[in-house]
Amino acid sequence: MYKKIVVLTLLSAVLCMLSFSPGKLNHVRRERPNGRERKIQKELLGQMLSFRRYLKDTLSAEAKLNPIHELKLKQAFLTARLLFKKFEWAAEYFTADLTKRLNGPPVEEVENADLLDPSLSRGVDPMGLQVIEELIYPNYDPICKTALVEEVNHLITNTDYLISYFADHQLDDWRILDAAKLEIFRIISLGITGFDNGLSLHSMEESSRSLESLRDVLRRYAKTRENSILLNDLDAAIRYLQDHPDFNTFDRAAFITGFANKISTGIAQLERNLPGAKIKYNRMLRQEVNTLFDTDAFNADAFSPGPEFHLTDEKVILGEKLFYDVNLSGTHSRSCASCHQPQLAFTDGLTRQEDLHHADRLLKRNTPTLLNAALQSNYFYDMRALTLEDQIQDVISNKQEMDGSMDNIVEYVTMDSTYRFLLAKAFPESNSVIGSDLIANALASYIRSLTKLNSRFDMYMQGRVEALSLQELNGFNLFMGKAKCATCHFLPLFNGITPPKFVQSEVEVLGVPQSRRDSILDADLGYFDISGVDSYKYAFKIPTVRNIKKTAPYMHNGVYQTLDEVMEFYNNGGAAGLGIALANQTLPEENLHLTEKERKDIIAFMESLESN
């Protein structure tokens, strides 16, 4: 069974509300919608009504039959998914939380707001098309009949809510185009990877249906001869998807570079050509991008606590000096750089670092990379810190890691003339009042400056076709397809923050062993210790695979020394492949049947993600 665990961060929720609150933005614009906007709204409502009718008249009817005709049930389900894909672009953009009830991941969710008081934490039960998929694939079990009927009823009810929303809310041209561009990003990062249809795997057909719907919308904007190129690109992309429906052999690199990047660039140009004011969003993916692979496409400040915490050159200079200063530790013997070494992509090359006071004892977890650490929500493998500033203060005060005192550090830097000068430059508004928040922010700013998305893979996606070898391209296609790596390590950041809005982090239950010598589950409970929710036992944050060549050993406990060992673990189905019975394992349990060549190709691709 293919499952995921999703964590909605408190900070991300705030960003999401600021960036995607239709009610708030509708108050900003008061003029009446134009004819184009009204027609698109009417078409959307028609598509949603058709979806609801099909659910009620066909899918529900098939689910209630006794006995159920499995083939017809599956066909009805696949048709329902195709009908959903026609309006996915709008539903995901304007009503993200509600759309989770229609097609969200089939696992419990928990909000980080609850982490402020773990006793209040509880899982939110999933529902929707992905839950239904797990009830009928690979084979339907009659014991699931009651659950199946109930899930279809939930789907109908939530579709009613969706219809009610779109009947009552005005659409704006600029938001329609923004939603269309994000749908292109959704298709290439999620749609063609099997993210939301991991068992039925009709990814190419569903993606083509999404593009067909976008073409019908965009033809209302692409009136000039120049913009007609966009419609031609859409037609070509749809044909490519239809002509290459096989999930395992689909050339995702060719599709993205040959079609998707051109389409998103064309939509971005339509956005820029629109007259009138537009609302500026605060989100990690910059609003003005043409593609997911643009230089500086991502905002390293997106998950900072607020605007006053955004990085500046002066903060980075101060933060770098602090990063290498052993006097931040209680023993004056360990700096941040002791465990995060630049030549090792800001890791330390150790299975686990030594306890500061006891060299014969090791810390609980492996040292993660700091490269691109800003491009994610939550920090530490157990997700316990909401911001980099929180993470820094946690590490400094931890008895085993640095055993430092923020108060002592403040006293130390304010007594040092060099630091006083750098502090005045970095925080000119502080009026010489230096607190621990400024020290933490300076260090966090240095870490945010370590955002590097300039690998050979990025160059390839930006048009330098010679940047990747045939082996690396094959590895990319396997990573995005047959191996299903990209359903957790999402393109283009290859970490666990979900595109295309990039506000929501995921954790995964893999079932990592305590050592290579045996098949005993590692005792670390991970995110469960923070959330208290049973489904999060042994769940850990999904790290980036960028710069992975330099960040061995791997996994939260450093159990695997090589990427070959990591690939063997995944290929065999995680804990299940080791003979470990783990009821809440979210990694697919089946063997991926990757050949030795395929595994080597995937490793070659991952190694192409090294930053310059």
**Which run of H or of E encompasses 7?**
strand 5-8
Residue 297 counted as domain residue: no
Q: How does DSSP classify residue 463? A: T
Q: For residue 124, which phi and psi values (nearest 5 degrees)?
A: -100, 120
For residue 84, what are the contacts with CB-CB under 8 A and spacing of at least 6?
51, 91, 102, 103, 129
Residue 249 counted as domain residue: yes
- Same domain, yes or no, for 152 and 4? yes
| Mean per-residue pLDDT, 245-255 | 98
- Same domain, yes or no, for 549 and 486? yes
- Same domain, yes or no, for 412 and 538? no
**Which run of H or of E encompasses 218?**
helix 203-218
Strand partners for 379:
385
Q: For residue 545, which phi and psi values (nearest 5 degrees)?
A: -100, 5
- Same domain, yes or no, for 436 and 556? no
Residue 226 has pLDDT above 90, yes or no: no
Q: C-alpha distances in angstroms, 567 versus 437, 472, 520, 570?
A: 41, 16, 19, 5
**Domain ranges, residue 551:** 468-607
Here the CATH number for the domain that contains residue 318 is 1.10.760.10
Q: For residue 209, which phi and psi values (nearest 5 degrees)?
A: -65, -40
Of the chain, the percentage scoring pLDDT greater than 70 comes to 93
The pLDDT of residue 21: 36
Say which range, 104-108, 175-179, 295-299, 596-600, has the weakest mean pLDDT.
104-108
Longest dimension (CA), the chain: 82
- Same domain, yes or no, for 25 and 76? yes
Q: For residue 128, which phi and psi values (nearest 5 degrees)?
A: 120, -165
Q: Which of 171, 206, 227 is the last residue of a domain?
A: 171
What is the pLDDT of the chain when averaged over all its residues? 92
The pLDDT of residue 282: 81
Strand partners for 362:
354
The pLDDT of residue 31: 62
Residue 18 counted as domain residue: yes
Task: Report pTM.
Answer: 0.93
| Mean per-residue pLDDT, 523-542 | 95
For residue 31, what are the contacts with CB-CB under 8 A and spacing of at least 6?
none
Tens of pLDDT, residues 483-517: 999 999 999 999 999 999 999 889 999 999 999 99
Tens of pLDDT, residues 553-564: 999 999 999 999
- Same domain, yes or no, for 488 and 383? no
Q: Which of 171, 191, 216 is the last residue of a domain?
A: 171
Distance CA 253, CA 261 (A): 11
Q: C-alpha distances in angstroms, 265 versus 76, 262, 277, 459?
A: 35, 5, 20, 17
Residue 290 counted as domain residue: no
- Same domain, yes or no, for 313 and 254? no
Q: Please tell me the total count of domains within the chain.
A: 4
Q: At which residue do the structure tokens 């890791």 appear?
A: 347
Tens of pLDDT, residues 424-480: 999 999 887 899 999 999 999 999 999 999 999 999 999 999 999 999 999 999 999
- Same domain, yes or no, for 128 and 202? no
| Mean per-residue pLDDT, 396-410 | 98
Band (pLDDT 50/70/90 cuts) for residue 107 is: confident
- Same domain, yes or no, for 13 and 121? yes
Band (pLDDT 50/70/90 cuts) for residue 395 is: very high
The pLDDT of residue 121: 56
- Same domain, yes or no, for 156 and 278? no
Residues 507, 536 contacting (CB under 8 angstroms): yes
The pLDDT of residue 136: 97
**Packing angle of the helix pair 417-426, 313-323 (nearest 10 deg):** 150
- Same domain, yes or no, for 382 and 501? no
Residue 519 counted as domain residue: yes
The pLDDT of residue 17: 36
Give the 3-state secondary structure of residue 3.
coil
- Same domain, yes or no, for 17 and 155? yes
Residue 409 counted as domain residue: yes
